[in-house]
Structures are given as structure tokens and as C-alpha cells.
């Protein structure tokens, strides 16, 4: 079974689509073949003006630009890339590439994008976890120091103990997934 980051032309419920920008003869047939093989909507724009008009109407997961356009009219290519937003930019020589190669290029770009997003997501989660752990450690330390102070009224000391207990519980909950991962690795290694 092949890994597919998308299912039926959708990622997280959003329809995936590709814009091909080329004036080469047979582009619409190539677009239809790519659409069939990838299970995605493929639109074809024959020039800069139509590409920019289409990009204003909707967003795409990938924009595939013919290399001949980028060489003959760099300003047009720059305008298309600027309007493409978060679409994956691909530059392909349509004169030399068939639909099979185009499908491989688009799949590779989608896989790369998915891996980049997963890495970014893990990095953000790790940064949040680190920040939370630091805050909780500070909260525990400050509440324990306050409890050791002389002359702390009993109601305040009770509240400080509750804060320390809640912070300790949060710390344990944050460590639980980490400990589960360590245990899971230990069981698979055994």
C-alpha cells in the first residue's frame, strides 16, 4: 500500500487543486491526465493574464509553471509566484516532461510539504511544552518559597499549598506523555 498524504484529493477536508501555467499544445490533455492520476482538480492557464485571474479566484496547493515562461518572461513568472500565496511552487519544462513526470514532481512536493508541516508542528509543540514546564517550575518554586516564609497567615498558606499541588499535578500530566514514549521504546527494544 502506497502512502498518500491526501485522500481523494482532500487534505483536512479541503479540496486539493493544482494550477498548471503553460501555453504548450496539449496542456489540457496533460492536466486531465494529472487530475486522473492524482485525484485532484487541475486547472490550466495558458498565459500570465489567465493565471493571475485564476489565482485571484481561488487558492491552490501547487502551482506548476512552465520553464519556458520563466525564461522568456521573468516578470510574468514573478507576478504568478507572488500571487500564488502558500501554494507549492514547481517549475517544469513541459516540452520535455510528460504527465507521469509531472505527477511524480507534484507528489514529491506534496510529501515534502507534509513532512515540513509535521516538523514545524512538532517544533511548536515542543516549544510550548518547554515554556509550560518552565512556568510550572517557577510557580512551584515561588509557592514553596512563600510557604517557608515567616508569619504566613494560615489561609494564605493553605492557598499556596493548593497552588503548589495544582502545579505539581500539571507537571506530572506534562511528563506523562514523555514517560509513556520512553516506556514504549523500552518495550519495543526488549
Give the H/E segment covering residue 27: helix 27-38
- Is the pLDDT assigned to residue 16 strictly greater than 90? no
pLDDT score, position 182? 64
For residues 182 and 44, the model is more confident at 44
Span between the terminal Cα atoms of the chain, in Å: 29
pLDDT score, position 189? 53
**pLDDT classification of 179: cutoffs 50, 70, 90:** low
Mean of all residue pLDDT scores within the chain: 84
- Is the pLDDT assigned to residue 56 strictly greater than 70? yes
pLDDT score, position 2? 43
* Domain covering 10-97 in this structure, CATH number: 3.40.50.2300
- Is the pLDDT assigned to residue 184 strictly greater than 80? no
Which of 85, 90, 89, 105 is CA-nearest to residue 38? 105
> What does the domain layout of the chain look like in residue ranges?
10-97, 121-189
Contact 78, 85 (CB under 8 A): no
- Is the pLDDT assigned to residue 19 strictly greater than 60? yes
When pLDDT is averaged across residues 62-90 and rounded to a whole number, the result is 92
Kindly report, residue by residue over 118-177, the tens digit of the pLDDT.
Answer: 999 999 988 998 888 888 888 888 888 888 888 888 888 888 888 888 888 888 888 876
pLDDT score, position 187? 60
How much is the pTM? 0.64
pLDDT score, position 80? 95
Contact 58, 51 (CB under 8 A): no
pLDDT score, position 98? 82
- Is the pLDDT assigned to residue 181 strictly greater than 50? yes
Residue 54's φ and ψ, nearest 5 degrees, are -65, -40
Amino acid at each position: 500500500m502506497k502512502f498518500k498524504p491526501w485522500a481523494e484529493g482532500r487534505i483536512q477536508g479541503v479540496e486539493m487543486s493544482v494550477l498548471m501555467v503553460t501555453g504548450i499544445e496539449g496542456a489540457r490533455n496533460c492536466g486531465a491526465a494529472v487530475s486522473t492520476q492524482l485525484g485532484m482538480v487541475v486547472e490550466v492557464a495558458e498565459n500570465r493574464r489567465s493565471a493571475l485571474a485564476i489565482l485571484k479566484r481561488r487558492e491552490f496547493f501547487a502551482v506548476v509553471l512552465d520553464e519556458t515562461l520563466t525564461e522568456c518572461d521573468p516578470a510574468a513568472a514573478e507576478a504568478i509566484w507572488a500571487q500564488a500565496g502558500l501554494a507549492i511552487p514547481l517549475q517544469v519544462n513541459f516540452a520535455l516532461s510528460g504527465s507521469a513526470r509531472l505527477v511524480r514532481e507534484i507528489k514529491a512536493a506534496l510529501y515534502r510539504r507534509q513532512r515540513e508541516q509535521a516538523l514545524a508542528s512538532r517544533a511548536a509543540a515542543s516549544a510550548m511544552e518547554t515554556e509550560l514546564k518552565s512556568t510550572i517550575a517557577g510557580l512551584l518554586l515561588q509557592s514553596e518559597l512563600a510557604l517557608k516564609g515567616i508569619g504566613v497567615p494560615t489561609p494564605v498558606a493553605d492557598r499556596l499549598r493548593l497552588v503548589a499541588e495544582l502545579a505539581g499535578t500539571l507537571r506530572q500530566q506534562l511528563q506523562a506523555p514523555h514517560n509513556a514514549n520512553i516506556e514504549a521504546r523500552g518495550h519495543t527494544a526488549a
